[in-house]
Amino acid sequence: MGRTVIVGNGVAAVSAAASIREVSQSEEIIICSAEPYLAYYRTKLSNLLGTIFSPPEIFIYQPSWYEENRIEVMLGQIVKKVNLKNKEVITENDDNLPYDTLIITTGGSPRLPRIDGLNKHGVFNLRTCEDSFKIKEYGESRQDFIIAGGGVLGLEIAGALKKWKKNVKLLVQSNQLLTRQLDPEAAGIIDGMVREQGIEVYYNSEAAEISGSHKVNGVYLKEGNLVSGEVVIFAAGIHPEVGFIEESHILGKAGIAVDENMRTKDPNVFAAGDAAEFQGIVQGRWPVAKIQGEIAGYNAAGREVFYLQIPPYNLVQTLDMQIYSVGVVSNENVEAFSSGNSSSGFFRKLFFSQGRLVGAILIGDVAYSYVMKEAVSSGNDYSNLINNRTYTEEIISKMVEEYQSRNRSI
């Protein structure tokens, strides 16, 4: 019987543990968590902002699951160092955890700008349950909120704040919302829908300083303008949490470099999720973390399974909007087909390259998101389809028919 230590306690961690237990009933599994709670759905935090909830309500697995699968969880244990030579994990309490196999799933930390005023009362990020509780407590008696970030998390937080009856201002560094998920045309439609709900949007705006003596009263932008507000929430992405790794040979450009088995250059060490860098990319997405955790667990337990990069996809449901995006949504070197407009709240756009669907955007009606995802992943050639049909809805209808026909024949 060996011992696998999993550092981190998100979806990648519990997915890895589940895979190990599937392969081996004798392996000792220890999860070392910096947080005081069992693994939970971190993606639900933004929608729950401003509400009263308890962590067990969003646990991925209840305590009985860990007991049944004989998985030990050490809560509130921050890892300060990993000694690869001696094969041990060292916590801030100077506890040593020897391991035979190590899986690192420490996720990411919020990306914060290097500006003055971050220590003022009223400055937050949203990554943990504790962050949500602090925002709820401080923001209850405040009305004007500033969100620094125009990505998925920023829009989800904006939606929760509007439900909380707060005033919202969005600071966006780029010239559009959802730069990773939408092209400029689709982003323009979302901009109109966001503004219709009373949200102020400031484009090409980067925070330079948090204003206020002890409490926040606004954000100075780099061009010198002051955007007033009582609470600032940073939602501008993450960076891999790998500061406790001193052995640089397992690190990549940003995270821990892994191969298709989720194995690092150390054969006894694996990584998954937001801490892992595969083919030079840190995905930073929940579905990827889950799959990578599963792959890492299987391989750590001796069952060889390979990870294939999946196309990026997102479903954003906030502010009474539904937005789905998959693949590459750039207008460069593609043939694009679109339908819908801002007034209808309905929009679809398909991106083809050499007859293959490389990306798709659905706004309003996202019922066929599974068809678009499968089409991008499969690399099927749709040359005949797009050559014979000029209308977007015609193309989508035929793609749905082909998808249903293929799946009926399986």
- Rounded to an integer, the average pLDDT of 211-236 is 96
Q: How confident is the model at residue 390 (pLDDT cuts 50, 70, 90)?
A: low
- Position 232 scores a pLDDT of 98
This prediction has a pTM of: 0.94
pLDDT at 317 exceeding the cut of 70: yes
pLDDT at 410 exceeding the cut of 80: no
Asked if 356 contacts 382 with a C-beta cutoff of 8 angstroms, the reply is yes
Q: Residues with Cβ < 8 Å from 3, sequence gap 6 or more?
A: 27, 28, 29, 30, 98, 99, 100, 101
pLDDT tens for 326-378 read 999 988 889 999 998 877 789 999 999 999 999 999 999 999 999 999 999 99
- Rounded to an integer, the average pLDDT of 379-386 is 88
What's phi and psi for 178, nearest 5 deg? 50, 55
The residue ranking higher by pLDDT, 53 or 388, is: 53
- How far is it, in rounded angstroms, from Cα 405 to Cα 167? 49
Q: How confident is the model at residue 389 (pLDDT cuts 50, 70, 90)?
A: low
- How far is it, in rounded angstroms, from Cα 211 to Cα 208? 10
Domains and CATH numbers, the chain: 3-109+238-300 (3.50.50.60), 123-234 (3.50.50.60), 313-408 (3.30.390.30)
What radius of gyration, in Å, describes the C-alpha atoms of the chain? 23
Helix (H) or strand (E) holding 406: helix 392-408
Q: Look-up: residue for tokens 């999993």?
A: 6
Helix (H) or strand (E) holding 300: helix 286-300
Q: Look-up: residue for tokens 């919202």?
A: 168
Bridge partners for 3 per DSSP: 28
- Rounded to an integer, the average pLDDT of 252-270 is 97
Share of residues in the chain with pLDDT > 70 (%): 99
